[in-house]
A and B are shown apart, each in its own frame.
Chain A
Amino acid sequence: MSDVAERVKKIVVEHLGVEPEKVVDNANFIEDLGADSLDTVELVMAFEEEFGVEIPDDAAESIVTVGDAVKFLEKAKAA
């Protein structure tokens, strides 16, 4: 697992209080990990804080799974 994926997973476990083994690439924050709409806003904020990037609202809306987040942040980091 990449460094980005590890850090994303840690944030998700912390914020949503879920078992680490449930935080897989195709896990949907709302449907699989029990987040509500406010939780997802906070998750995006936590990603911004951790990775020092800004995630615009339209990009945030497309981040619905753990994999989406990892992909977005790896790309943002490379940029």
Chain B
Amino acid sequence: MTLRRVVVTGLGMVSPLGGDVETSWRRLIAGENGFRRIDTFEASDLPCQIAAYIPRGDGANGTFNPDQWMEPKEQRKVDDFILYAMAASTQALADAQWKPETREQQISTGVMFGAGIGGLSGIADTALLLKEKGPRRVSPFFIPGRLINLASGYVSIAHGLKGPNHAVVTACSSGAHAIGDAARLIALGDADVMVAGGAESAICRIGIAGFAACKALCTAFNDQPSRGSRPYDRDRDGFVMGEGAGALVLESLEHAKARGAKIYAELIGYGLSGDAYHITAPSEDGDGAYRCMQAAIKRAGVLPSDIDYVNAHGTSTMADGIELGAVERVLGNAASDVSMSSTKSAIGHLLGAAGAVEAIFSILAMRDQVAPPTLNLENPAYETKLDLVPLQARKRKIDVALSNSFGFGGTNASLIFARHDRAH
């Protein structure tokens, strides 16, 4: 069976740097960040008191206006990850100029959205309500507003997308897996177009308490929120949670060409692996990450030396060094010509949305020929041949970009994108 080539024709994003793709990207390259002290719930007794929030506003100056994407009465029924998925997907479809109207167009267009946790905040609130007021006060929208696949559900209903409707739940790899799996559905002919991505809204009291209990969160920078997320830096001590969504419109190459769509990039490689090691920690030798990247490279049919930029998983935890070692092994001598940065230094860890948002940053790095920076990398904890793009963005040639995502449970995904017009 011949696999069809898959290209990216639309992008959408809601991130701690802005309510849309271009605002988020511009601010990322300018070295700005989206961190502040937690101020949406009581945090004084939590070990971590900082997070990266989406800048909400009236929609002007790149702020995020929820009412632009979902009616207030619908917003009330769902957790925010669904709202963010709706915003990012609607932006991506508009960017791709794809508005399925005929029945044939509708059934050839599907949705694959991932989330790591889903409606955590709504589950916590409703559990308290149940205890205080009993079962008669549990809303009929409690279940449909919390389920992870309802991101895909809402997006399909809003846009009339009647093709494959699927969802991914692989913790912090969800967004990357959703993109890779959606591309496979197109490659195999199950759909011509897929809206794929990830969304997350876990910045709530129980979410922070839970990750803090895993000793995964940053606790040393509560008074300096913008300095907390510092991948590869000597003083890093855990990740800082972010929220948001990223959405890509993926399309078969022939379908995109036939309708004259603008093509951002081609998704040339996708690799998956499992650690089979520990529920929260990667193995010291980075074997899972190594095999995942190798699988993507093999699928892409490129050499390690073809890779110009790596958007690292790089969460600002002890695991940064494990990924770094695995990337060095994969790249070998080519490592000295590669830039690798962690954009989590600017937006925090978006968990199930991370892989999708970071895939978009990787694609834009190719479009604009610039590697986004790793902020706060003041005292590198590692010696490496890789350029970790400390503190400032770097202009450079980027024709092929690899994006890594690794999740609790030992679940790994790597995506490789290439400039569509690159010379082979």
A interface residue numbers (CB < 8 A to B): 14-17, 38, 41-42, 45, 48-49, 54
**Cβ–Cβ contact A17 & B72, under 8 A:** yes
- Complex formed: what's the CA distance from A15 to B71 in Å? 11
- Given A15-B73, A16-B73, residue A41 in contact with residue B137 (CB < 8 A): no
The answer to whether B136 and A48 have CB atoms under 8 Å apart is: yes
Asked if residues B71 and A42 are in contact (CB atoms below 8 Å), the reply is: no
Q: Which residue of B lies closest to A49 (CB)?
A: B137
Residue interface bits B116-141, CB-to-A below 8 A is 1, else 0 = 00000000000000000000110111
Question: Within the complex, what minimum Cβ distance (angstroms) separates B331 from chain A?
Answer: 53
- What chain A residues lie within 8 Å of B141 (beta carbons)? 38, 42
Cβ–Cβ contact B73 & A45, under 8 A: no
B73 and A17 within 8 A (CB)? yes
A14 and B140 alpha carbons, distance in the complex (Å): 16
B144 proximity list for chain A (CB < 8 A) = 38
B residues in contact with A42, CB < 8 Å: 139-141
> In the assembly, what is the distance between CA of A1 and CA of B141, in Å?
31
Q: Is the Cβ of A41 less than 8 Å from the Cβ of B73?
A: no
Give the complex CA separation of A14 and B139 in angstroms: 15
Within the complex, the shortest CB–CB distance from B377 to chain A, in Å, comes to 47
Residues from chain B with Cβ under 8 Å of A14 in the complex: 73
For B74, the chain A residues whose CB sits under 8 A away are 17
Contact present for A38 and B140 (CB under 8 Å): yes
Interchain CB contact under 8 A, A45 and B72: no
Which residue on chain B has the smallest CB distance to residue A39?
B140
CB of B136 within 8 A of CB of A41, answer no
How far does the Cβ of A46 sit from chain B's closest Cβ, in whole Å? Answer: 9
Residues of A near B137 (CB, < 8 A) are 45, 49
CB distance from B122 to the nearest CB of A (A): 14
Q: How far is the CA of A48 from the CA of B135 in the complex (A)?
A: 13
For the complex, give the distance between the alpha carbons of A48 and B296 in Å: 56
Query: Please, which residues of chain B bring their CB within 8 A of the CB of A41?
Result: 140
Give the Cβ gap from A42 to chain B, nearest Cβ, in Å.
Answer: 6
Q: Closest residue to B71 on the A side, CB-wise?
A: A17
> Nearest chain B CB to A62's CB is how many angstroms away?
18
Q: How far, in whole Å, are A14 and B71 apart by their CA atoms in the complex?
A: 12
Chain A residue with minimal CB distance to B139? Answer: A42
Q: How far is the CA of A45 from the CA of B126 in the complex (A)?
A: 14
Chain A residue with Cβ nearest B73: A17
Which residues of B51-78 have CB atoms within 8 Å of chain A's CB atoms?
71-74
- Starting from the known contacts A38-B141, A41-B140, A45-B139, 4 additional A-B residue pairs (CB-CB under 8 Å) come to A14-B73, A16-B73, A48-B136, A54-B136
Write out the residue numbers on chain A whose beta carbons fall within 8 Å of the beta carbon of B71. Answer: 17
B140 — which chain A residues lie within 8 A by C-beta? 38, 41-42
Closest to A34 in B: B73
CB distance from A61 to the nearest CB of B (A): 15
Query: Whole-angstrom distance from the CB of B423 to the nearest CB of chain A?
Result: 54
Chain B contacts for A15, CB-based, 8 A:
73
Interface CB pairs A-B, < 8 A, 20: A14-B73, A15-B73, A16-B73, A17-B71, A17-B72, A17-B73, A17-B74, A38-B140, A38-B141, A38-B144, A41-B140, A42-B139, A42-B140, A42-B141, A45-B136, A45-B137, A45-B139, A48-B136, A49-B137, A54-B136
Min distance, Cβ B130 to any Cβ of chain A, angstroms = 13
**Chain B residues whose C-beta falls within 8 Å of the C-beta of A48 in the assembled complex:** 136
Instruction: State how many angstroms separate the Cβ of A55 from the closest Cβ of chain B.
Output: 10
Q: Shortest CB–CB separation between residue B222 and chain A, in angstroms?
A: 38
Q: Which of chain B's residues have a CB closer than 8 A to the CB of A16?
A: 73
CA distance A60 to B136 in the complex (A): 13
Residues of B within 8 A of A45 (CB): 136-137, 139
Considering the complex, give the chain B residue whose CB is closest to the CB of A18.
Answer: B73
A49 to B129, CA, bound (A): 12
How far apart sit A16 and B72, CA to CA, in the bound complex (Å)?
Answer: 9
